[in-house]
Structure 1
Amino acid sequence: MALEPLPKLSSLTVLLLSLIPLSSGAFAGGVRVELTHVHANAGDSEAKLIQRAVASSRHRLSTLVDRAPLHAGKTEYIVDIAIGTPALAFSALVDTGSDLIWTQCKPCSNCYWQSSPVFDPSKSSTFGTIACDSMLCKALDQHSCNASCHYSYMYTDHSYTEGVLGTETFTIGSTSVPGLAFGCGNSNDGVAFAEAAGFVGLGRGKLSLISQMGLTEFSYCLTPFGSRKKSTLSIGSLPNPNATAHPVMSTPIVRNKSWPSFYYITLNGITVGGTVVDIPSSTFAINGDGSGGMIIDSGTWLTYLEYSAYDKVADAFTAQIKNMNTTDQSLFDLDLCYELPPKSTPDTLNLPKLIFHFQGADLELPPGNYFGVDSDTSSICLMMAESSGLSVFGNFMQQNMQVMYDLGNDVLSFYSAECG
């Protein structure tokens, strides 16, 4: 697909832009921004919201387990940022499962509708292109050269963005960050992008915001599903763990050479009620070919377990929940749903406890983090499903939890919090 040229800079300027390292000093003390759930303003019923979230979650899982050079789509949270000089505001999807920062750009040969104006690099005094021989250009799975670096970034749902890899000043919160490499997309399309004008990747790859800034710390606190409160994302610093009365638990972040962008954590076992589920320790291990393992992901709603483990966990819940009637699960495409007694919530019911035994951390979750409620049908459902090739600790289980990524020490920490 032919791309129209963007404004050119001198070859010396292009070379310099490709060599200038970014400094984490721009985020000294950290930057805190608000996150909006993609369905927050949909105006749908609870049942419809759950249906959409489950469908989106299953769609995203299929993109995560695909072993081609493609990237995950359909993420869950949006951040408002700005690009260029003068700054142009736009909304971007935030994703810990991918790397590239990109937005739609003029001239646009094929762009989807967005609520904000499309960025025009010819009107920004700080836009630059990136040389083909730069490390950032070579970090792309697919790129080509025509005076500057052209990228093609494909998602496994057939969504895509194509354009020029450039540099620009981004404003995140109240902080301006010059020289960030980003995809200036002249041709973009896909259902994954409908809610925003681009992406901000927070993965571990070279093109992510975290890597480009040389940052080693970020955290988020996600409000409960359906809440009107904003979630928060903090970049460049971590909350003081001594400021909470809740226990702080930590587990190592594991690297997978086959999939270096993802944040892997080690799950050793699961307890349901008073029963340690009989799951072999190898079930959640990373295999020699890079498959398997468990990642923590901000963009996947449900939690997914390898099918052999999921079946045993579901059987354990079924065996221990005897005083509640099951309901039709087909409405939500979930396996385990029960009638919700009047004036009840998962946290007020006598539901079996759920503990995830991570390496070094036994995380006991409140029932409201693994049973979701639909008041329209007066039912609750277990927010877990089966997978093959990858397990995912999804964002529903992370709600009302401060989740902290210490990449300098490869440690993930978390504690209970009132988010928002």
Structure 2
Amino acid sequence: MASSTLYILFTIISLQSLPIYSHLFLPLTHTLSKTLTTQTQTHHLLKTSSTHSTARFHRHRNPHRQISLPLSSGSDYTLSLSINSQSLNLYMDTGSDLVWFPCEPFECILCEGKPNLNPPLIPHSTPFIPCNSPACSAAHSSKSPSDLCAIAGCPLEIIETSDCYSHRCPPFYYAYGDGSLIAGLRQANLSIPTSKSDFQLHNFTFGCAHSALAEPVGVAGFGPGLLSLPAQLAIGTQFSYCLISHSFDAGLLHRPSPLILGRSSDELIHGEFVYTPMLHNPKYPYFYCVGLEGISVGGKILPAMKNLRRVSKDGNGGVVVDSGTTFTMLPAEMYEKVAEEFDLGMRVNHERATEVEAETGLGPCYYYEEEKVTKVPKVVFHFGGNASVVLPRRNYFLGFKREVGGQNRKVGCLLLMNAGELPDSGGGPAATLGNFQQQGFEVVYDLGKRRVGFSRRQCATLWDSLSRG
């Protein structure tokens, strides 16, 4: 198994009744499920990542309560924490707003071949959440506490007096790209190990799943919801991460990459960030949505359609900034314009590799010589608020080797994907900004000012400067 270890850096602003820490370190690990020793395995990994990106996007378009989990190798970022002294590894996900993990007894259907990072949590001394609590309403899409108490079996006279603490919050159903789960809400002590001592958070609320379809691990939701990890830690109104660029080659270990909670605006380097406003989605408020005005390819600006620039009153449109999706998903009309312009710039110097497109699910793909890679067209994302983000070439054009006629040739693919035609009816985002396109940037989620910021960074250097401080 190839893996790279990253770290979360927590900057504590204020926590009542807790010891004061200047920093808290928590390992966040990016893992490949198997060592890649052949080109076929590399192509398979790219194929599973592109398939997962597509499935996750379409789940965003049609969520129940939604939980969108990173399921494929190459796209997973996991963090470690302890619940009642039991260590767990969870996926970090800005596309969902709940922390959940498997609990004993646990049954997972269609989980063969998927990573199994945790033994199921033994839920001893983890009390259930009552049905009339705000947390229960949040898990059930803000369903009325009276309705939840009725579902939980409270008699009418108890519901009328708002005294239904003896009845537990009913189980809830979550669905995501490749599966689903049923969980109940519980509380326990959360522990985060540090170099000095363990950071403790009492009465931490999480989902305890006893059955799941195709998802054996768990997730730490970072979305803007009451039950997300940042909301429960209550460490300021901002968090950011800076992902060191990774590839799909085997055996590459990277230096730590910081994910920072509670960093104040004064600590950010002014002038280096470009900010785009968060768009409110009335139907799906747990997404971090922004507007995309256009994409430049080789210097030519391709204007975005209306549904990429704004969110309608029925929750349709916008771009989700998502840590759990690998590759950026664009609706067919926008993707085809980008791919066509990219091809115009590439075909002059490079041969098309259509067979690689079928093997990886990516495209267009091209054979190229190393000395001509500088001729790959530049790609720039233009977000609302005049926030233009120039992508490094490795963020949108992945190069790897392929055997052709007994010789290894370099081949590269565009790492933006076609989400297909979007229906006129039904809400949900029109596009997703994947984590591969976010690498090498510090991405700031500023909930106080409702904006997302981007700054080109040497993420390893940023980690070094923060750890020294």
TM-score for the superposition, normalised by structure 1: 0.83
The correspondence for 1:397, drawn from 409, 433, 437, is 437
Return the match for 1:331 from 359, 374, 386: 359
Q: 1:54 aligns with which of 28, 50, 53?
A: 50
Partner Cα distance (2:189, 2:365) in 1: 48
Between the two proteins, the alignment pairs up a number of residues equal to 386
Distance in 1 (CA, whole Å) between partners of 2:133 and 2:186 is 11
The change in CA–CA distance for 1:210 and 1:80 in structure 2 (over 3 A counts) is closer
Within the candidate set 192, 198, 201, 2:221 is matched to 201
Quick one: which amino acid aligns to residue 26 of structure 2?
Answer: V
Two-structure CA RMSD over aligned residues (Å): 2.8
1:152 aligns with 2:152: no
- 1:212–1:381 Cα change, 3 Å: same
1:232 equivalent in alignment to 2:258: yes
Which one is further off, 349-358 or 166-175? 166-175
Are residue 410 (structure 1) and residue 450 (structure 2) matched?
A: yes
Spell out the pairing of 1:14-413 with structure 2 (5 A cutoff).
29=22, 31-39=24-32, 41-43=34-36, 45-74=41-70, 76-85=75-84, 87-108=85-106, 114-122=116-124, 124=125, 127-141=126-140, 145=152, 147-157=167-177, 159-174=179-194, 175-190=199-214, 193-194=215-216, 197-215=217-235, 216-226=237-247, 227-229=252-254, 230-237=256-263, 240-242=267-269, 247-280=272-305, 283-321=308-346, 322-328=348-354, 329-342=357-370, 348-359=373-384, 360-376=386-402, 378-387=410-419, 388=422, 390-413=430-453
> Matches of 1:27 and 1:103 in 2, distance apart?
29
Aligned equivalents of 1:252, 1:150: Cα separation in 2:
36
Cα distance in 2 between the residues matched to 1:280 and 1:189: 36
The aligned residue for residue 6 of structure 2 is: none
- State the shift of 1:93 in Å: 0.9
Identity percentage of aligned residues: 27
The SS at the match of 2:455 is strand
Q: CA deviation at 1:373?
A: 1.8
Offset from partner CA, 1:101-154 (integer Å, 9 cap, x none): 1112224466868444322122x5xx3221110011011237752621132232
2:20, 2:344 → 1: CA distance? 50
Instruction: State the Cα distance separating 1:384 from its structure 2 match.
Output: 0.7
Q: Counterpart of 1:8? A: none
Indicate if the aligned counterparts of 1:278 and 1:312 stay in contact, CA closer than 8 A: no
1:171: how far off?
2.0
Q: Whole-Å Cα distance in 1 between the matches of residues 294 and 19 of structure 2?
A: 41
Aligned AA (2:134): M
- Shift of the 285–104 alpha-carbon distance from structure 1 to 2, 3 Å rule, reads same
